[in-house]
Amino acid sequence: MTKKNDTPQRWKKKSTPKSGATPSKPDLRRRLLTSALIGLGLALFILPSLTKTNNAVTISYSSFLQQASSQGVRTVTVDNATGNISGQLESGAKYTVTGPNPVIASDVQTLRKQDNIDVKFSNPSGFASTWAPYLIWILIFGGFMFFASRQARSQMNGMMSITRSKAKQFNEDRPTTTFADVAGYLGVKQEISEVVEFLKNPSRYSEIGATIPKGILLVGPPGTGKTMLARAVAGEAGVPFFSVSGSDFMEMFVGVGASRVRDLFATARKQAPAIVFVDEIDSIGRKRGAGVGGGHDEREQTLNQMLSEMDGFDSAEGVVMIAATNRPDVLDAALLRPGRFDRQIVVPLPDLDERLPILEVHSKNKPLGPDVSLPMVARGTPGMSGADLANLVNEAALHAVRRNQSVIAMIDFESARDRVLMGQERDTMVLRDDERNRIAYHESGHALLAYVLEKSDPLHKITIIPRGMALGVTMTLPEEDRHIMSRDHLEDSLCMRMGGRVAELLVYGDLSTGASDDLQRNTELARRMVREWGMSKVIGPMAWGSNNQVFLGEDLMHTRDYSERTAKIIDAEVGRILREQEARAIEVLTTHRRGLTALAEALCEHETLDGETAARLIDEAFGEAVHAPGTKTVSTLSTPAPPVSEAPSDSN
């Protein structure tokens, strides 16, 4: 683990308020002012009517005139606008009268002649009554214009910010993942931690004259943890960390990507020392001039700007670039030269020693049963990436929930591995009896050859339950990592895949469509043996055929670099290899015909057999052990299937 960061506070960036956080002061003032104006308008319009106290008695107009003539009225106030009359009676009570509008002049003269009546006329011209209706419409229109201008201003800001970088910044206040969370890959973590340590303590390296690489390229298959390693750098580094995807530079407008690259590096220089991480850099870093439409598109302009920026700053500025890709073969050579991406770190698929700690990390917070053996699970998952192992543990937990169990058992891991490697069971598919029998013989042919042949992978499981797109599956599982394959192993693999087709031919005398996938995979493997690996005596030690991809544009018009005569020889050699392995499969299955029938009948009864049960049936049908003790084994990583009592007799 690296030391805590002692980087000065000037490198820290103020965090941006998240959605739902307290708004800034200008926004708060604007909202308060808008609310105050709306509230004032409503108050001017509503409050006058609410503050009026009306305790007066309503009387008719004729009754009012009668009381006025009999000296029962003390005061009269006439509203010239509405014609309403109000006032006070001699008894002291208040009254209101709905009079005619306009007021009758003779009635007014009669009231004035009365000495005891005080007659007044009112012309209401108050602010609220006169301007309130207009003020409401003015406020509504003003509010509409305010929000419209605000929306337009935000859109203009968006248009003006289109050239800004979309990189997300992380600092020491927001650690997410550390190197402790990344299991395995000690060499990879050591090289990346050197970069982090250099940015934290550059004097340690400058004293000896060492300079840190400007760029580090993480190369590896999908799911191996390249992005997680970058997140670990963000968690460990005490310097600003800018994370951006390669696709974030691309835009429909030409020149936008280059502007975003300039903005990204300008921001990184201001906050140096800093780390810039670009994920999936192959989306913008592909070879220039490979496109069909020329070399002046947006992607190439972005790449040119990135090359210029990486060449423009020196290591003393303290800006290190880290990128990740699973296609290093398509990257431009100028991007990989020394001085830009000086160091390439391969992040391979984890081996056995690394799969176990990865499984332990992903199952750390999950309840495991006492029968679970993570070393056995790790040994039975060769070729799986870190993402595959995480998915395996999650599938095991889901399977335990489906079984209504509170802990994850070994059978859950076994079912999860079968689902990941072979596909989900299709329980709803109903096969006819003749189809089940043919599938049983087909899979038995694969299984028998997998057990009998010396160099084939150990037999793990046979099933005639439809899984994924297959109607039946024979699963072989190497119990150790294999990094190189001999010709004997490849030939046994070809022969094993021929087993299903040959078994149908021996038993039924005809063929079906069930061997389609087997033939495609065998043809591809045999062609690679001839064209790429030099495993043909006729062709000799030569590799034919280009590995360049068509989408790069280099092989669009020409995909073959050998003559027609050589093509005929290659086709002939591929056919010879496949026919030899077919003849070999026929010979082995004919010798072990009783074992083939025993496996098929046991599959029809139990639907699924593990490797040990299949091996016992083959040995019993053969009359003796096919292999000497300790020479050829089957996979023992599965939960045993129900035992078969005895080997069925050969019905033919």
What's the CA angle centered on 527, arms 560 and 544, to 5 degrees? 35
| 462, 444 Cβ separation under 8 angstroms | yes
Q: Picking from 274-278, 323-327, 468-472, 647-651, which range would have the lowest pLDDT averaged per residue?
A: 647-651
Q: Are strands 73-79 and 85-89 parallel, antiparallel or unpaired?
A: antiparallel
Residue 366 lies in a domain: yes
Mean pLDDT of 552-567: 63
For residues 501 and 73, the model is more confident at 501
- Neighbouring C-beta atoms of residue 404, cutoff 10 Å: 6
| pLDDT value of position 555 | 44
Helix (H) or strand (E) holding 600: helix 593-606
Q: What is the pLDDT of residue 592?
A: 93
371: Cβ contacts below 8 Å, ≥ 6 apart: 409, 410
Which CATH number fits the domain that encloses residue 79? 3.30.720.210
Residues of the chain with pLDDT > 70, as a percent, come to: 74
Q: Name the most confidently modeled range: 157-161, 226-230, 404-408, 550-554.
A: 404-408
Tell me the C-alpha distance between 95 and 517, whole Å.
Answer: 102
Query: Which among 110-119, 179-188, 237-246, 513-522 has the top mean pLDDT?
Result: 513-522
* DSSP code at position 536: -
Same domain, 138 and 218: no
Same domain, 447 and 590: yes
Nearest alpha carbon to residue 317 among 233, 198, 231, 204: 198
Whether 428 is covered by a domain: the verdict is no
Q: Is 491 a catalytic residue?
A: no
If DSSP codes are grouped into helix, strand and coil, which group holds residue 92? Answer: coil
Percentage of the chain modeled with pLDDT above 90:
15
Backbone conformation region of residue 232, classed left if phi is above 0, alpha if psi is from -120 to 50, else beta = alpha
Please compute, for residue 519, the number of CA atoms within 13 A of its CA located in the half-sphere on the CB side.
Answer: 10
Q: 565-572 — which CB contacts under 8 Å span 24+ positions? A: 566/539, 569/538, 569/539, 570/527, 570/530, 570/531, 570/539, 570/544, 572/538
pLDDT band at residue 549 under the 50/70/90 scheme: very low
Which of 127-136, 184-193, 511-520 has the highest average model confidence (pLDDT)?
511-520
Q: Which residues face 119 on adjacent strands? A: 76
Are 503 and 442 within 8 A, CB to CB?
yes
Element (H, E) at 139: helix 127-160
Which one of 346, 377, 398 terminates a domain? 346
pLDDT above 50: residue 558: no
Task: Report if residue 300 sits inside a domain.
Answer: yes
Whether the per-residue pLDDT at 651 is higher than 70: the answer is no
pLDDT at 156 over 60: no
Q: Are residues 188 and 273 in the same domain?
A: yes
- pLDDT value, residue 382: 82
Compute the mean pLDDT over every residue in the chain, rounded to the nearest whole number. 75
Phi, psi of 88 (to 5 degrees): -135, 135
The last residue of one of the domains, among 160, 180, 209, is 160
Q: Is residue 334 part of a domain?
A: yes
Over residues 579-599, the mean pLDDT reads 93
Q: Is the pLDDT of residue 520 over 90?
A: yes
63-67, 248-252, 420-424: lowest mean pLDDT where? 248-252
pLDDT of amino acid 47: 59
- Residue 131: what are its φ and ψ, rounded to 5°? -105, -10
Query: Does residue 479 or residue 651 have the better pLDDT?
Result: 479
Q: Looking at the predicted structure, is the pLDDT value of residue 559 above 80?
A: no
Give the model's pLDDT for residue 297: 63
- Higher-confidence residue of 419 and 263: namely 419
Query: Would you state the pLDDT for residue 641?
Result: 43
- CA distances, 642 to each of 440, 442, 608, 620 (Å): 17, 21, 9, 17
* Residue 183 token pair: 């299991």
CB 309 within 8 A of CB 259: no
Per the model's pLDDT, the better-predicted residue between 301 and 471 turns out to be 471
Any idea which of 112-126, 425-439, 477-491, 634-648 has the lowest mean pLDDT? 634-648
Helices (H), 607-649: 611-622
Interval 234-284: pLDDT, tens: 777 767 777 776 665 655 444 566 666 777 777 777 777 777 888 778 777
Residues 382 and 408 in one domain: yes
- Dist CA 203 CA 205 (whole Å): 5
Q: What is the CATH number of the domain that holds 538?
A: 1.20.58.760
Tell me the β-bridge partners of 277: 243, 322
Quick one: 479 and 616 in the same domain?
A: yes
What is the per-residue pLDDT for 151? 64
Whether residues 45 and 57 fall in one domain: no
Alpha-carbon span 616 to 611, nearest angstrom: 9
Q: Cα–Cα distance between 505 and 490 in angstroms, integer? A: 23
* Number of alpha carbons in the 13 Å side-chain half-sphere of residue 295: 8
C-beta of residue 249 within 8 angstroms of C-beta of residue 205? no
Among 470, 499, 495, CA closest to 614: 499
What CATH code is carried by the domain that includes residue 391?
1.10.8.60
Give, rounded to a whole angstrom, the gap between the first and last alpha carbons of the chain.
69
Tokens linked to 286 = 């592909």
pLDDT for position 312: 59
The answer on 611 and 478 residing in a single domain is: yes
Q: At what angle do helices 298-312 and 256-270 cross, to 10 degrees?
A: 20
Angle between helices 487-508 and 564-591 (to 10 degrees): 60
Are 212 and 303 found together in one domain?
Answer: yes
Q: Determine the pLDDT at residue 14.
A: 39
CB 366 within 8 A of CB 397: yes
Q: What band does 299 get if pLDDT is binned at 50, 70 and 90?
A: low
- Give 554's pLDDT tier (boundaries 50, 70, 90): very low
Please give the Cα distance from 514 to 503 (Å, whole number). 11
Does the pLDDT of residue 327 top 60, yes or no? yes
Task: Please report whether residue 448 resides in a domain.
Answer: yes
Q: Is residue 12 part of a domain?
A: no
- Phi, psi torsion values for 510, nearest 5 degrees: -145, 180
Q: What is the pLDDT of residue 161?
A: 47
As a whole number of Å, the CA-based R_g of the chain is 43
Strands 241-245 vs 118-122: parallel, antiparallel or unpaired: unpaired
Indicate whether 368 belongs to any domain: yes
Residues 207 and 145 in one domain: no
Q: Which residues contact 579 (CB under 8 A, 6 or more apart)?
A: none
Q: Which of 27-31, 220-224, 627-631 shows the lowest mean pLDDT across its residues?
A: 27-31
Residues 524 and 603 grouped into a single domain: yes
pLDDT given for residue 22 in this prediction: 43
Helix (H), strand (E), coil (C) string for 405-425? CCCECHHHHHHHHHHHHHCCE
pLDDT, residue 644, reads: 41
Taking phi first (over 0 means left), then psi (-120 to 50 degrees means alpha), and beta for anything else, what does residue 20 get? left
Q: What is the DSSP letter of 181?
A: G
pLDDT band with cut points at 50, 70 and 90 for residue 16: very low
| 208 three-state secondary structure | coil
Indicate if the pLDDT at residue 589 is higher than 90.
yes
Tell me the β-bridge partners of 459.
476
- Alpha-carbon distance of 285 to 344, in angstroms, equals 15
Same domain, 552 and 610: yes
User: Which pLDDT belongs to residue 650?
Assistant: 39
Of residues 156 and 375, more confidence is placed in 375
Last residue of a domain, one of 160, 182, 205: 160
Task: With 0.75 as the threshold, say if the pTM is over it.
Answer: no
103 C-beta neighbours (distance < 10 Å), count? 16
Confidence check: pLDDT of 217 > 70: yes
Residue 641 placed within a domain: no
What is residue 166's predicted lDDT score, i.e. its pLDDT?
47
CA 108, 110, 115, 116 dihedral sign is: negative
Q: What average pLDDT score do residues 112-121 get? A: 73
Nearest to 222 by CA among 287, 285, 280: 280
Q: What pLDDT does residue 25 have?
A: 52
Select which of 280, 443, 573, 612 is catalytic: 443
**Is 208 in the same domain as 269?**
yes
Can you give the CATH number for the domain in which 248 is found?
A: 3.40.50.300
Domain coverage including residue 328: 168-346
* Helix 61-69 / helix 105-113 crossing angle, nearest 10 deg: 30
- Comparison of pLDDT for 542 and 33, the residue scoring more: 542
Specify the number of domains making up the chain: 5
Structure confidence by residue, pLDDT tens digits, 523-545: 999 999 999 888 988 888 888 76
